Amino acid sequence: MNREKYSRQILFPPIGAEGQDKLLESRAVILGCGALGTAQANALTRAGVGTLRIVDRDFVEESNLQRQILFDEADARERLPKAIAAARKLNQINSEVKVEGVVEDVDNRNIEKLVSGFQVVLDATDNFEARYLLNEAAVKHGLPWIYGAVVASYGMTMTILPERTACLACLFPAAPEGAHETCDTVGVIGPAVSWVAAIQVTEALKILLGRRQELHGTMLAYDIWKNQLQEIRPRQDPQCRVCGAREFAYLNRTGPTHTSLCGRDSVQIHAAAARQLDLADLRIRLEPFGRVRANEFLLVFAVDAYELTVFSDGRAIVKGTHDPAVARSVYAKYIGA
């Protein structure tokens, strides 16, 4: 084994040679591969965490490059799925790490399968619903996970050890109502992402090394622009619907959500049932109606004021509207219901 690669962190006593061997045998999964996910994946790959799975539903766009550190202009031009572009880059950074890029939207039908067999989950999602889902899956299976969220210059993180610490629902019993600030409305700066990811990765390393007594044990919030730090020690709520009553409302919800908002001016359409689209065939069918571009993972179809990005499993992102009904009808018209 090539130890030279890791010599500087082997010198760090809490890791050492034994810890490095442990990391190389470890398995971590990252949900989301935007700003937080690319920063986490970069650090874990360089640290030699042996197996890494990265799950993301989206493709690389130019507006990502300011903060999503694994992507470049060519990825955006080719519209590569983020999970694929990240996995390719990570293989060049450290070929010893087994990186698996999964192009899927995390939902209640697949989350348990996606996190099963891993020792820790790093949250790099961008919405409350996905985090509640992750929290429930983690509590159900006793899996540690590390919450992280960033908007503008402000970020938050907390490490959740089921049955040992508070869970996300102990702290936030319900998602905030109405519109709340997102990176699509108020922006985000790279350094705010970096600190959250740095803490999440440090906590993940402690968990993988079996050094749970060294976890920070708080809910940390920091505004890196204003230099305002808040720290609270969350308490487990015995009445918590998730870790107390073990009611998994998000996980057990019946009926798939057919659409979801996905950034500003976009709606995601979930295929009602699993289907396999032949993208080459679809391309020929759509070409008379508008401009079509494709790579081996997805197809982009521009028609009227809309742009549809269609994945081979039937999922699509419709840009040019925030109205689910409009998006569904555009989808039905060109891709088929």
Known catalytic residues are 183
- Which residues 6+ apart lie within 8 Å of 53 measured at CB? 27, 28, 29, 30, 99, 100, 102, 114, 118
> Minimum Å distance from CB 266 to Zn ion?
32
Find the Cα–Cα–Cα–Cα dihedral 57, 60, 61, 64, rounded to 10°: 90
Task: Indicate whether 167 belongs to the interface with Zn ion (CB under 5 A).
Answer: yes
Query: Which span (22-30, 166-174, 189-197, 212-220) binds Zn ion, by CB under 5 A?
Result: 166-174
Q: Minimum distance between the CB of residue 267 and Zn ion, rounded to whole angstroms?
A: 31
Strands 291-294 and 298-303: antiparallel
Taking CB under 5 A as the binding criterion, the range among 1-9, 75-83, 240-248, 306-314 that sits at the site for Zn ion is 240-248
Provide DSSP, 141-161. HT--EEEEEEEBTEEEEEEE-
Q: Is 240 in the site for Zn ion (CB under 5 A)?
A: yes
Residue choice 39, 130, 169, 197 for contact with Zn ion (CB under 5 A): 169
- AA letter at 265: D
In single-letter form, the type of residue at position 266 comes to S
Are the beta carbons of 34 and 69 closer than 8 angstroms?
A: no
**Binding window for Zn ion (CB under 5 A); candidates: 42-50, 177-185, 235-243, 291-299:** 235-243
Output phi, psi for 251, to 5 deg. -70, -35
**Number of residues this chain uses to bind Zn ion (CB under 5 A):** 6
CA distance 201 to 95: 20
- Give the range of 31-39, 169-177, 183-191, 267-275 binding Zn ion by CB under 5 A: 169-177
Instruction: Return the residue matching tokens 């890196």.
Output: 224
Selected binder of Zn ion within 170, 201, 204, 316 (CB under 5 A)? 170
Binding to Zn ion by CB under 5 A, coded x per residue (else -) over 96-135, reads: ----------------------------------------
- State in angstroms the smallest separation of the CB of 146 from Zn ion: 16
243 is an interface residue for Zn ion by CB under 5 A: yes
Residue closer to Zn ion by CB (options 134, 170) is: 170
- Give whole-number Cα distances, 12 to 22, 25, 40, 118, in Å: 14, 19, 20, 25
For the bound state, the minimum distance from the C-beta of residue 237 to Zn ion, rounded and expressed in Å, comes to: 6
Our CB check for Zn ion shows the closer of 213 and 239 to be 239
- Cβ 168 to Zn ion, closest distance in Å? 7
Other CB atoms within 10 A of residue 226 CB: 9
Contact predicate 322/267, CB 8 Å: yes
- Beta strand 306-311 with 316-319 is antiparallel
Q: How far is the CB of 167 from Zn ion (least distance, A)?
A: 3
Shorter beta-carbon distance to Zn ion: residue 236 or 259? 236
Taking the C-alpha atoms of residue 123 and residue 167, their distance in angstroms, rounded to an integer, is: 13
Toward Zn ion, which CB reaches closer, 167 or 292? 167
Residues that bind Zn ion (CB under 5 A): 167, 169-170, 240, 242-243
